[in-house]
Amino acid sequence: MRFFVKTLILSLVLCASTAWAEPLRVVASFSIMGDMVKNVGGEDVVVTTLVGPDGDAHVYEPTPTDAKAVSNAQLLVVNGLHFEGWMDRLVQSAGYRGEIVVVSQGVTPRQMKEEHEDAAHGEQHHDPHHHGTIDPHAWQDLANGVIYVDNLIAALVKVDPDHAEAYRRRGAAYRAQLQDTDRWVRAQIATVPAAQRRVITSHDAFGYFSAAYGVEFLAPVGWNTENEPSAKDVARLIRQIKQEKTRALFVENMSDPRLIKRIAREAGGVVGGTLYSDALAPAGQTGDSYIGMFRHNVPALTAAMAQN
Ligand code: ZN
């Protein structure tokens, strides 16, 4: 009986401490990671996102405020695949020794397309966007998004086991939403004849999307968020657009739209709108969540591709 009472009191104390616990302090490297953490973590976490909406994580320079957020964090969430090239130094300067979850762990990495072309042409490009040959944009395939969420659930459960059940419950619901969205994307793309599934974008961020959903994305060699393409590259792309009669051109929310607009003019294409690739839209706009990004991009793509 005494044992029972002791156990009861202990349980009450544990329950009370859990109920009144501060939310887990999570730092996410960029907006898409931040949104995933909010979906799985819910009220049990407070999320600080380093590279916010419309921000370009490829060329980001961390601030002292970021270092402070990282040093106070209890979990750090990164994409990995060499996307956040600035993260190692930030972790060091912040003196962070806590848990780091690389949510892309377990995805099948793709090679950057341009690297093959560069090798074929025997050119030596110094191109920091590539960070080697791995394509970091794995979140553009929702099946990878599911892997991200599984990694995230496991990390949250490990760091904050008191809320394990809530993380698993929210994670499972979010996972199901991603799978629904994946089916919806496939159905939308299927409405466009296969020969017309071709678009031009301003940096090569859609390799995983392309492989998963059967849409061909073109971008000139060496064209990314850090390097302007050469006049020769631009001329080659304009020739290709005219030859293939590709009319669907897109700008991306985190890069300069001027060049793609010029190419559209010269090649006789149309700018079909903005695609969200590496960053979400500001809160309240379409594309302000990971799922919202697909809900925005896919109808824009199908409408533009129908004109090819
Ligand atoms: Zn990118």
Dump pLDDT digits (tens) for 74-97.
999 999 999 999 999 999 999 999
- 145 with 243: CB under 8 angstroms? no
Give the mean pLDDT of 25-52: 98
Centroid of ligand 1 to alpha carbon of 148 (angstroms): 17
- Give me the mean pLDDT over the 102-109 stretch: 98
Average pLDDT, the chain: 87
Radius of gyration of the chain (CA): 22
Distance 226 CA to ligand 1 centre (A): 10
Please tell me the distance between residue 207's alpha carbon and the centre of ligand 1 in angstroms: 10
With pLDDT > 70 as the criterion, what percentage of the chain qualifies? 84
Ligand 1 centroid distance, CA of 221 (Å): 14
What would the two tokens of residue 245 be? 């009669």
- Which stretch of 48-52, 195-199, 266-270 has the lowest confidence by average pLDDT? 266-270
77: its two tokens: 């969430």
Average pLDDT over residues 268-292: 92
- pLDDT mean over 188-214: 93
**Cα 278 to ligand 1 centre (Å):** 5
Task: Report the DSSP pairing between strands 45-51 and 99-102.
Answer: unpaired
For 121-139, how does the pLDDT look when each residue is reduced to its tens digit (9 = 90+)?
333 344 444 445 899 999 9
Cα separations in angstroms, 52 against 26, 58, 174, 253? 15, 13, 21, 12
Distance from C-alpha of 198 to C-alpha of 141, rounded to nearest angstrom = 17
Q: What average pLDDT does the segment 276-289 reach?
A: 95
Centroid of ligand 1 to alpha carbon of 54 (angstroms)? 12
Q: What is the mean pLDDT of residues 173-181?
A: 98
User: Which of 162-176, 215-229, 249-263 is the least confident region?
Assistant: 215-229
Distance 20 CA to ligand 1 centre (A): 40
Question: And the tokens for 106?
Answer: 């377990």
Residue 11, pLDDT score: 54
pLDDT beyond 70 at 2:
no
Q: Each residue of 248-259: pLDDT tens digit?
A: 888 888 777 888
Give me the pLDDT at residue 221, please.
52
Count of positions (residues) in the chain:
308
pLDDT for 128:
45
Write out pLDDT tens, residues 50-76: 999 999 998 899 999 999 999 999 999
pLDDT (0 to 100) of residue 163:
98
Mean pLDDT of 9-23: 60
Residue 130, pLDDT score: 46
Ligand 1: centre distance to CA 136 (Å): 7
Q: What is the pLDDT of residue 89?
A: 97
